[in-house]
Amino acid sequence: MLDDLKYIHQKDLSDALGIAEKQWQQLEYKFELPNLSFPIENIVYAGMGGSALSAMISQSWPGYNLPFEVVRNYNLPVYVSNKTLCIITSYSGNTEETLACLEQAKAKSAHIIIIASGGKLEVLAKENDYPMALIPKVEQPRFAALYILKAVTTILEKAGLVVVKDAEQNLHQTGQFLHESIKSWLPTVPTDNNQAKQIAQELMGKSIVVYGGPLLFPAAYKWKISFNENAKQIAWCNQLPEFSHNEMLGWTEQPVQKPYAVIDLRSNLENERIQKRFEVTERLLSGKRPAPIVVQTKGNSLLEQILWSVALGDFVSLYLALLNGLDPTPVDLIEKFKNSLAE
């Protein structure tokens, strides 16, 4: 089925696979933003779902030399003040939780920067003269993750708040690496030689759990997002070492028949104790849970490994959607839910 290009074109009506193929180009996009010259003691990033993902990636890479917190709800931390930089992010510009955070940031006289593709946030940015990174339009917010990563990195590199030097150049180089890597996952590559198609076939009809270490957890989170939104197939994620302190026991007893698939995203750049935890976990849980699908990430740098993992997960989830007989792009129930909240 996954090698039938006619079938793929019939189902993938919005060309989600084409978007995934070109996502590396988002890292080349240039955002025109002012330098930040005011005193900053901490950074708070407000966003939901895919909009929060890019901030989570940025905590692994490039990292920050000030406290950085990602808020995924309606309320900012109590410590937000006039020395806080608040990055308010919503792809649509209309996410109600994020808009609530913007009002609180304004009330606390925080320094505000907007990342959005339009909507109410764009209007408010213009009315209040907030600096704004305007995201180019894509089919769905989850397809804009690398645009948002480039935007937040640009903002904070200009402010001199990132740990990594030459972050923008690193993004460019990683884009070239992704461009080459993605070629092996394209629809024209047969299943026998296509890692993304092979993994998708192993996941059919199963509830999916994705694990990563601290560095790769943002990628595991993106796999979870993509399975739920693209394939419409339930998925969760968690990270080591926390897993070892509680969740691993959950695999040992009920239910006896476990209709799950387990994916381990592993990196040779994780702390060596994290790497050992993956190995010991696999051995101790052998026969008690499904054998994990081990994805050993590729890339010479942390950024390459994170974004390689994110891109692979996108292709796996899109192929899984096609195996489920679905168009990956629409999220009708989420739109219905938002409309119902607004009534």
Q: Rounded to 5 degrees, what are φ and ψ at 194?
A: -120, 105
At 278, which amino acid appears? F
At 90, which amino acid appears? S
Cα–Cα distance for residue pair 150/168, rounded to 1 Å: 8
Q: By three-state DSSP, how is residue 92 classified?
A: coil
**CB distance 339 to 328 below 8 Å:** no
Q: Which residues of 180-194 are buried (b: 16+ CB within 10 A; e: fewer)?
A: ebbeebebebeeeeb
In the chain, the largest separation of any two C-alpha atoms, in whole Å, equals: 60
Residues in the chain: 343
Least Cα distance to 308 among 178, 126, 124 occurs for: 178
Residues in Cβ contact with 67 at an 8 Å cutoff, skipping those fewer than 6 apart: 41, 42, 43
Helix (H) or strand (E) holding 88: strand 84-90
**CB distance 248 to 336 below 8 Å:** no
Supply the residues annotated as catalytic.
229, 245, 338
Find how far residue 114's CA is from the centre of its chain.
Answer: 19
The two structure tokens encoding residue 312: 């692979």
